Amino acid sequence: MKRAELTEKICDIKREKGWSWKYISEEIGGMAPTLVVGALLGQMKLVKPLAKKAAELFGLSPAEEAMLNETPYRGTPMPPTDPLIYRFYEMVMVNGPAWKALIEEEFGDGIMSAIDFDFDFERMPHPKGDRVKIVMSGKFLPYRYYGAEQGIPEYGYKEE
């Protein structure tokens, strides 16, 4: 079985049982819902105790359980074709240069981690149509200036 086939099987069971991702995430627990759902969709891995819980919930075989614990090949083909996912790319393409300038002005020369990262969202009622409020929080990782000498800082933190 390939990982994509396991994802399809999990989605089929979810659909047949009428489960929501929220229900599934609560049943498996142990990590943020984004990570649990991401793992079930093949983009993250579940640690062994959570892979076991997922296997029990979905009635998976030992081989399928082990597959949930493997580090996956992450990502999707570019450009994304799903409109919702594409809009995230559009937000970055349009606003990315400004976000980069503002973050670097505040923190220095570096990046926001997508690994040491939190994500949350909520529905916000609005008279013109409900809105999606997204909160992302990633650790700031300064670039390391290799070979820095003669008073040059070793890391790209904001200079005072």
Of 108-122, 126-140, 143-157, minimum mean pLDDT range: 143-157
CATH of 3-68, one of 3.40.50.720, 3.40.1380.20, 3.30.70.920, 1.10.260.40: 1.10.260.40
Instruction: Count Cβ atoms below 10 Å from residue 69 Cβ, excluding itself.
Output: 17
Q: What is the pLDDT of residue 26?
A: 97
Q: What is the pTM of this model?
A: 0.81
Given a cut of 90, is residue 113 above it in pLDDT? yes
Given a cut of 90, is residue 78 above it in pLDDT? no
In the chain, where are the structural domains located? 3-68, 83-142
Mean pLDDT of 133-145: 92
Q: Is the C-alpha dihedral spanning 63, 68, 70, 76 positive or negative?
A: positive
Mean pLDDT of 143-152: 84
> CB neighbours of 108 closer than 8 A, spacing ≥ 6?
140, 142, 155, 156, 157, 158, 159
CATH of 83-142, one of 1.10.3720.10, 3.40.50.740, 3.40.50.2000, 3.30.1160.10: 3.30.1160.10
Q: What are phi and psi of 24, to 5 degrees?
A: -60, -45
Mean pLDDT for all residues in the chain:
93
Name the active-site residue from 90, 131, 144, 154.
Answer: 90
Residue 32 — pLDDT band, cuts 50, 70, 90? very high
113 is catalytic: yes
Name the active-site residue from 87, 131, 144, 154.
Answer: 87
Name the active-site residue from 113, 137, 144, 154.
Answer: 113
Mean pLDDT of 101-113: 93
87 is catalytic: yes
Kindly provide the residue ranges of all beta strands, DSSP E only, lying in 69-153, ordered along the sequence.
110-124, 131-142
Residue 120 — pLDDT band, cuts 50, 70, 90? very high
pLDDT 10s digits, 47-59? 999 999 999 999 9
Q: What is the pLDDT of residue 159?
A: 84
For residues 1 and 61, the answer to whether their CB atoms sit within 8 Å is no
Mean pLDDT of 35-58: 97
26 is catalytic: no
Assess whether the previous peptide bond of 79 is cis (omega < 30° from 0): yes
